[in-house]
Amino acid sequence: MPAPPLIPCDVAVIGSGIAGMSAAWFAAREGFATVVVGRTGGILFASSLLDLLAVHPLAERRLWENPWEGLARLAADEPGHPLARIAPARIREAIDAVAAALGACGLAYGDGGNRNRWVLTALGTFRPTWRVPATMEAGIAARRAGAAARIVSFHGLRGFSARGIVECARPSWKALSAAVVEFPRAAPGGELFPERMARALETEAARAALAEALTPCRQGAAALGLPAVLGISRPAEVHRDLEARLGLPLFEIPTLPPGATGPRLKEAFERALAQAGVRRILGQSVVRAEALATGGFRLETENRDFCPGIEARGVILATGRFLGGGLRAERGRVVETVFGLPVAFPEDRDRWHRRDFFDPSGHPLNRAGLPFDEAFRPLGGGGEPAHPRLFAAGSILAGQDWVRSGCGSGLAIATARAAVDGLKKALA
């Protein structure tokens, strides 16, 4: 019996996190026949906040109110940083485009402007970020105005304590209070899970019952803060309906992962990719990649019955670092798992980590990744591009510590745009 034919495409994106999905969307918008393949575990832990830059230099723990001024300082201090190699206007354009696409698919974002926003977290701290989902914006406005807000938690929902949030946040937001209510139709004494709660609230009956349960909490409050459970597929609709029923602003607070915000972001991205005509092969890893004499690539996934293989004219590698599986740490080295590309990392294992686990500068291993050229092509052993049609995007790129810098989403989206720009020229 002959083997099934390979799936042909112009662009294959390996990796289905924020960087991979953004790259696939950008490529399809450029008119390329695009396939995205990868496991989707990492994005399920996402907060849905679109960070740009919060902290730089790391050792000084300097927080930036204006992330664009922070990027200018970053470019001067670290010209090899991925974000330093992209024009600020191009970064803004890329993130705005993705935010608009997600908004058209049900996950709306507020305007970023030139300021970072400070979002209340489930730990009672305030996280700086740039683009904020519309369901969370009322909390930022209420805090800025010093308005009285009541934080509401639900019996049975672990990792989210209204009283704990209020105690931790009150020094910087004095007009806070707490309440705990029963979630509609929850089993007495049972445990609640954010994603299930969010999907339940996509029904009108559940929203009506929740509004009734929350009605006593309105007393003396100018806004209500809830865990981020206001829907998965239609958060804007759920948010709008509950605000209308209660007659005052509501704002979501991101929960500890896994929550509802990750599945919400994943579903919005998948709808955007479907609308752009991207073929999605999700839940599969690429286990073998081969460069062809034609200048393209042949990719093989772990389940050939599910996907016989992909033949692409060009590839964007967006597999992430260690959590995403793009990099693997061995006893004395770090390995790139698809193409076997050279990885930049401290050769002496004793220098992978600093003595202080909480060192504000971070650990050198946090900056491990693929060296790349100005077109975002990974470099080979001799310092030349590994392949003229192979590009990389996202956290797999060397020279950045996105967690401590607070630039994860911005890095993913902006470098995805840059990689597609480079590949467009290579395929011309």
* CATH code for the domain of 157: 3.40.50.1860
How confident is the model over 169-214, as pLDDT tens digits?
999 999 999 999 999 887 777 899 999 999 999 999 999 999 999 9
CA 326 to CA 391: how far, in whole Å? Answer: 14
pLDDT of amino acid 346:
84
pLDDT of amino acid 308:
82
pLDDT of amino acid 305:
73
Q: Is residue 147 part of a domain?
A: yes
How many structural domains is the chain composed of? 2
pLDDT of amino acid 64:
96
pLDDT at 40 over 80: no
Average pLDDT over residues 206-234: 96
pLDDT grade, residue 351 (50/70/90)? confident
- Which residue carries 């995007």 as its tokens? 393
Q: Give backbone dihedrals phi and psi of 258, rounded to 5 degrees, phi first.
A: -80, 140
Average pLDDT over residues 356-372: 85
pLDDT grade, residue 147 (50/70/90)? very high
Cα 194 off chain centre by: 18
Spatial CA neighbour of 109 closest among 14, 211, 264, 236: 236
Residue 171 CB contacts under 8 Å (≥ 6 apart), including other chains:
none
Q: Is residue 421 part of a domain?
A: yes
Of 195, 222, 253, the residue that ends a domain is 253
Handedness of CA 342, 348, 350, 356 (dihedral sign): negative
* Beta strands at 176-181 and 149-154: parallel, antiparallel or unpaired: parallel
Whether residue 226 sits in one domain with residue 300:
no
The fraction of the chain above a pLDDT of 70, given in percent, is 99
pLDDT grade, residue 92 (50/70/90)? very high
Q: Is residue 117 part of a domain?
A: no
Q: Is residue 334 part of a domain?
A: no
User: Residue 49, Cβ neighbours under 10 Å: how many?
Assistant: 23
Whether residue 184 sits in one domain with residue 285:
no
Average pLDDT over residues 398-416: 95
pLDDT of amino acid 115:
95
The fraction of the chain above a pLDDT of 90, given in percent, is 80
User: What's the CATH code of the domain at 296?
Assistant: 3.50.50.60
The tokens describing 16, both together, are 């289905």
Cα 356–395–84 angle (5° rounding)?
Answer: 95
Average pLDDT over residues 95-113: 94
Whether residue 421 sits in one domain with residue 306:
yes
Average pLDDT over residues 101-112: 93
Of 253, 284, 305, the residue that ends a domain is 253
Looking at every residue in the chain, the average pLDDT score rounds to: 93
Whether residue 141 sits in one domain with residue 74:
no
Average pLDDT over residues 91-100: 97
Q: Is residue 1 part of a domain?
A: no
Lowest mean pLDDT among 90-94, 109-113, 310-314, 347-351: 347-351
Average pLDDT over residues 396-419: 96
Whether residue 198 sits in one domain with residue 275:
no
Whether residue 269 sits in one domain with residue 245:
no
Whether residue 144 sits in one domain with residue 68:
no
CA 251 to CA 240: how far, in whole Å? Answer: 11
pLDDT of amino acid 29:
97
pLDDT of amino acid 303:
76
pLDDT at 41 over 80: no
CA 71 to CA 359: how far, in whole Å? Answer: 22
Whether residue 192 sits in one domain with residue 99:
no
Whether residue 409 sits in one domain with residue 288:
yes
pLDDT grade, residue 4 (50/70/90)? low
pLDDT grade, residue 280 (50/70/90)? very high
pLDDT grade, residue 17 (50/70/90)? very high
Handedness of CA 266, 269, 274, 279 (dihedral sign): negative
Whether residue 199 sits in one domain with residue 138:
yes
Average pLDDT over residues 237-253: 96
DSSP-derived letter for residue 375 is T
Q: Is residue 353 part of a domain?
A: no
Q: Is residue 84 part of a domain?
A: yes
Residue span of the structural domain in which 140 resides: 122-253
pLDDT grade, residue 366 (50/70/90)? confident
Of 231, 253, 275, the residue that ends a domain is 253
pLDDT of amino acid 159:
93
pLDDT of amino acid 252:
98
pLDDT at 1 over 60: no
Average pLDDT over residues 402-419: 96
On the question of a cis peptide bond just before residue 128, with omega within 30 degrees of 0, the verdict is no
pLDDT of amino acid 311:
94
Q: Is residue 215 part of a domain?
A: yes
User: Residue 114, Cβ neighbours under 10 Å: how many?
Assistant: 11
Whether residue 287 sits in one domain with residue 244:
no
pLDDT at 2 over 70: no
Whether residue 97 sits in one domain with residue 127:
no
pLDDT of amino acid 354:
83
Average pLDDT over residues 131-148: 96
